Structure 1
Amino acid sequence: MDAVVEGCSACEELRCDGTVGPGGSPDENGETTMDAMIMNGVTMEVGAVAAMRYVSDGIKAARLVMQHTKHTMLVGEQASVFAISMGLPGPTNLSSEESMDKWIKWKENKCQPNFRKNVLPVDDCGPYHATNTVNLGENTCTNSKWLECGRLGSCHISLHNHDTISMAVIDRMGHIAVGTSTNGATFKIPGRVGDGPIAGSSAYADTEVGACGATGDGDIMMRFLPCYQVVESMRLGMEPKRAAEDAISRIAWKYPDFVGAIFAVNKNGVHAGACHGWTFQYSVRSPDMEDVKVYTVVPETPTPQGCCFPSLAMGSYRETYR
């Protein structure tokens, strides 16, 4: 548990990919918020915070929820009040110069792209109201000025605007824990909670079996609880590679243009990854290794830059070192 907190905290401090920790992924109002989750694979306890404002230590706040409440998740400003009352620094502005510059440019681009659908704005950036047109397609607008509204979708999701750190740790006793941290999708609708703080979606652990971590289009992935699926598949005898592929394929069957990735590791340390729509990397470190080893999972069907054609990875690893 300590290692998970330290690892995720380091990524929060480094603002990994500009989508973890303070200073990244502004929402429609330009504010950065935090989602985080931690899970104990021995006791199956979970602590999580979602849409947390004014507190930069997401993973530490999630652990405080686990340690000092009987709840699983706290959200919004109430999560911030709780975290500060438990001793975490705050309140503080989680925005940065970079996140505000990104938000200003987005506003200048008439708030496009965004995550809304079947709406029309009073002006370019809202407020919005529902259209009266029935039988609209999921990403369809009736105003010619707004033909591109609601078309953010998976084709606009990348490592630089929509990513999560998901970490699994196995200690010398074989105990397993997982943790996640993210500030969610860039230009999300305020109040949106993705899969980051959802146990079974962004991560899951059971010491008797193994663990899983995930990243990508959380709004789609949380509908399938892919990491729960991975762990349960391994419980039934699947190797990590096949379990990861199976979980990804279940999503791709229903949403062929989704973007996401999974790593799986069993209780013996055997690991693998699978991805759809992008190339995915995950890192491994063990006591007998001199340095971190980075595994690259390459989709079998190449994904053209800037779009998201269906492409399911079925293995195909490359190794690099850091």
Structure 2
Amino acid sequence: MDMRPVIVVHGGAWAIPDHLAESSTNGVKNAVTRGFSILANGGNSLQAVEATVRILEDNIAFDAGHGAVLNADGDVELDAIIMDGTNLAVGAVSCIKSIANPVMFARTIMEQTPHVMLTGSGANKFAEKMNIKKVPAEELVTENAVKEWEQYQKYKQSVTSLFNTERMHDTVGAVAIDHKGNIACATSTGGITNKMVGRVGDSPIIGSGAYADNFIGAVSTTGHGESIMKVMLARKVLFNMEKGETPQSAADQALEYMKNKVQGRGGLIVVSKSGEWAARFTTKRMAWASIANNILNYGLNPGENFQEKFDLNM
């Protein structure tokens, strides 16, 4: 099979404020460009989504890795997942600390252990054994994350209120199909500000935060994690596609179902086995970008889709 490669990325579905709009848009455009260059040069989809998400984890504009938010104790706890659609291999981590690129560690778990997920202190011990680089916790904490955490502490705000679920930062992800038709996805997050210590959201949960299957497609989700887990949002999109829906229709139906069933909002990116893709969301904004057929698409606001001709040398 000789497919035209496609890659789609997101930087989180939430009420992105105006002062972060440009950095969020530029961040996803830069990440998708770097990821597509891997595909264009013969790399596979798994390599592309890992590299793309690592770029987003290194960008403080996003809630993952270096831009992660703080839990109730003022610490950073990170979650991530990566999945290979060729054989349904999965690696995931949750509640890990002092690792700047959780998606890379998730891939290590997928390839070097018989397990799907490691969590907490056990995961960090395995990271040391595998020589996964540790960084000082303060390296992952931005000034904005500290200020936001202090506001929550001052006003004792609940992370479960609708107001906060619309405001909070959330998650990065990527889906891709390579020239051989192999599909992969990855999702990474720092969670939600002031979350309970030990809280795990949807991002590292197979079928909720991500799913990939060569016979259907791949999805990476973002939004209110507890809602996404209740409806298994990523797998629900693919179920809809198995029934014959297009990626956009499948995504819209799944997001509408989540909103009606559990009053949850969020977003997702999806690519089908034939290379069709979509980026859809029910929050105020979601930064996303894609490259397909040498066209760079990107957007931030509902209904927005800017296009630029993609130049691999740019």
Same-fold call, TM cutoff 0.5? yes
Deviation at 1:27, TM superposition (A): 0.4
2:306 is aligned with 1:319: yes
Partner of 1:155: 163
Deviation at 1:176, TM superposition (A): 0.3
Partner of 1:218: 225
2:92 is aligned with 1:48: yes
2:265 is aligned with 1:278: no
In 1, the alpha carbon distance for the partners of 2:208 and 2:250 equals 14
The aligned amino acid for 1:102 is E
The aligned amino acid for 1:156 is N
Deviation at 1:243, TM superposition (A): 0.6
Cα distance per residue 1:55-91 (max 9 Å; x no partner): 2220011001101111110001211111121111126
Partner of 2:108: 64
- Deviates further, 62-71 or 261-270: 261-270
Are residues 155 and 275 of structure 1, via their aligned partners in 2, closer, same or farther at CA, if it must alter by over 3 Å? same
The aligned amino acid for 2:146 is M
Partner of 1:122: none
Partner of 2:129: 85
Asked whether the 8 Å contact 2:59–2:66 carries over to 1, the reply is no
Partner of 2:50: 5
Matches within 5 A, 1:90-239: 90=134, 92-94=136-138, 95-98=140-143, 99-107=145-153, 109-110=154-155, 112-115=156-159, 152-158=160-166, 161-239=168-246
Deviation at 1:244, TM superposition (A): 0.6
Partner of 2:249: 242
Asked whether the 8 Å contact 1:84–1:91 carries over to 2, the reply is no
User: Could you say what the CA RMSD is over the residues aligned between the two structures, in angstroms?
Assistant: 2.0
Q: SS of the counterpart of 1:189?
A: coil
Which protein is bigger by CA-based radius of gyration? Answer: 1
Are residues 92 and 84 of structure 1, via their aligned partners in 2, closer, same or farther at CA, if it must alter by over 3 Å? farther
Deviation at 1:217, TM superposition (A): 0.3
Asked whether the 8 Å contact 2:222–2:268 carries over to 1, the reply is yes
The aligned amino acid for 2:223 is G
Asked whether the 8 Å contact 1:285–1:293 carries over to 2, the reply is yes
The aligned amino acid for 2:243 is L
Deviation at 1:157, TM superposition (A): 2.2
In 1, the alpha carbon distance for the partners of 2:74 and 2:150 equals 8
Match of 2:262 among 228, 233, 255: 255
In 2, the alpha carbon distance for the partners of 1:97 and 1:251 equals 32
**Equivalent pairs, count:** 262
Q: SS of the counterpart of 1:103?
A: helix
The aligned amino acid for 2:165 is I
Which one has more relative contact order, counting CA pairs under 8 Å at least 6 apart?
2
Deviation at 1:297, TM superposition (A): 6.0
Could you state the TM-score of these two structures normalised by the residue count of structure 2? 0.78
Cα distance per residue 1:29-58 (max 9 Å; x no partner): 100111000000011011000011122220
Are residues 252 and 96 of structure 1, via their aligned partners in 2, closer, same or farther at CA, if it must alter by over 3 Å? closer
Q: SS of the counterpart of 1:186?
A: coil
Asked whether the 8 Å contact 2:187–2:221 carries over to 1, the reply is no
Unaligned runs of 5+ in 2: 1-45
Asked whether the 8 Å contact 1:27–1:187 carries over to 2, the reply is yes
- Deviates further, 244-253 or 187-196: 244-253
Cα distance per residue 1:261-320 (max 9 Å; x no partner): 12222112212233224233421013x426x3204562xxxxxxxxxxxxxxxxx45325
2:80 is aligned with 1:36: yes
- Deviates further, 232-241 or 55-64: 232-241
Higher helix share: 2
Are residues 161 and 252 of structure 1, via their aligned partners in 2, closer, same or farther at CA, if it must alter by over 3 Å? closer
Partner of 2:19: none
Q: SS of the counterpart of 2:65?
A: coil
Asked whether the 8 Å contact 1:201–1:225 carries over to 2, the reply is yes
Asked whether the 8 Å contact 2:58–2:67 carries over to 1, the reply is no
Deviation at 1:100, TM superposition (A): 3.0
Deviation at 1:190, TM superposition (A): 0.6
Are residues 22 and 64 of structure 1, via their aligned partners in 2, closer, same or farther at CA, if it must alter by over 3 Å? same
Partner of 2:30: none
Unaligned runs of 5+ in 1: 116-151, 299-315
Asked whether the 8 Å contact 2:57–2:67 carries over to 1, the reply is no
